[in-house]
Amino acid sequence: MSTIKVEQVICSAGFTGSYTDDQKAIRDGACLDGLFYDDKPQTLGFRAIRQPGESVSVMLRLTDGLVAFGDCSAVQYSGAGGRDPLFLANDFIQLIEAQAISCLSGRPLTSFRELAGEFETVRMDDGRPLHTAVRYGVSQAILNAVAAAHRTLPCEVIADEYDQVLSERPVRIFCQSGDDRYLNADKMILKKADVLPHGLINNIPDKLGTKGEILLDYVKWLRDRIVHRRSNTDYQPDIHIDVYGTVGLIFNQDIPRIATYLDHLGKAAHPFAIRVECPLDAGSREAQCSALAELRTVLKSRGIAVEIVADEWCNTLEDIRYFADAGAADMIQVKTPDLGGIQNSIEAALYCKSKEIGVYLGGSGNETDTSARACVHVALATQPDQMLAKPGMGVDEGYMIMYNEMQRSLAILAANRRTE
């Protein structure tokens, strides 16, 4: 049993690898000028439609002198789809220090699951849970502290405490393009990303088209680009497009018409498999789950080879169980910052697998290198179908962080097996 304890909690404000955006204003057609949006924000807490993403680094100094790190951050579209509000670093540093000191100071680092679970139950004075970003960052720090105390990798801690078998091969990486969906797709093809390109289809006039024609043309271009530029036919990536509910908007939430349009996308993507994330937004958890389940049934009955991915209104561990139980999607995004403590992402991934639902260990470009590395260890221990390259939208940086952390860890695990 480890006798190493948490001696001190230190916090610092920082930036994320991307931005926080007012999704409602963008979906309603806000005017983009370079990186700036000129219209007024519509979501509570935003001073502008786009703001620099903020983070808080949580550092746990241990009694043996080591320091364990975790980063608090929220998703790009904070305050949308039932999520917690905008996360601003200076609003939370004192709260994080006070709550983390109270919960963790002097505690032996014997169990990540126990300590993270305990911090998850901390409540504000008004009875509300701590912001998801706070729980996310502190739980990463706890995971890394327990790993440091036991002189092991974080993924080994997770596998041991959740009775899982560590992956011996790389987890598939999904890259996201941001708005530069053409040049960044080239980067993905060059590096042979397993899944691409996300696309950020978050408005109708410029990205989807009033009849879906802009996205349809983009998928055809992407298919042809992969075929033309891949170095060999062994490279067969999946196409994964996030449409943020906009397809439902242009077809007035009519399920059969949405299914017909998805069929067109599927045929345009051939010979590559295609998934569409959040094809519609029904406005609440229950309505969203019901609508996606209905759409999935229609797609299957018509033999349409397009999978759907749940994201909006599927934010918490409870939500994910609800959608998985209903069979509402072929794949569910476990959007790590939205779930609070990273132990909830672990449990969500394992629950989806138990229900034979695809697992996308996701997150946001609006995270940090520290939170991204922590998620690699979750992936190695839970073996999802794919994990998001993050942070940022530039492809190269996020892909490098995730890929290199995974390869380092796999090499260490392989070396450990050789010496056993």
What would the two tokens of residue 186 be?
């080239």
Active site residue 335: yes
Element (H, E) at 328: none
Task: Please report which residue ranges of 282-395 form alpha helices under DSSP H.
Answer: 285-301, 317-326, 342-354, 369-382
Catalytic residue among 335, 353, 355, 390: 335
Q: In 3D, which of 222, 154, 150, 214 has the Cα closest to residue 182?
A: 222
Cα separations (Å) of 168 from 173, 348, 349, 381? 15, 21, 18, 10
How many other C-beta atoms can be found within 10 angstroms of the C-beta atom of residue 411?
10
What would the two tokens of residue 135 be?
């729980």
Distance CA 101, CA 3 (A): 18
Q: Are 130 and 29 in contact (CB under 8 A)?
A: no
- Name the DSSP letter for residue 5: B
What's the count of helices (H) and strands (E) in the chain, helices before strands? 14, 13
Cα separations (Å) of 358 from 116, 254, 299, 385? 26, 25, 17, 6
Q: Are 20 and 63 in contact (CB under 8 A)?
A: no
Catalytic residues: 335
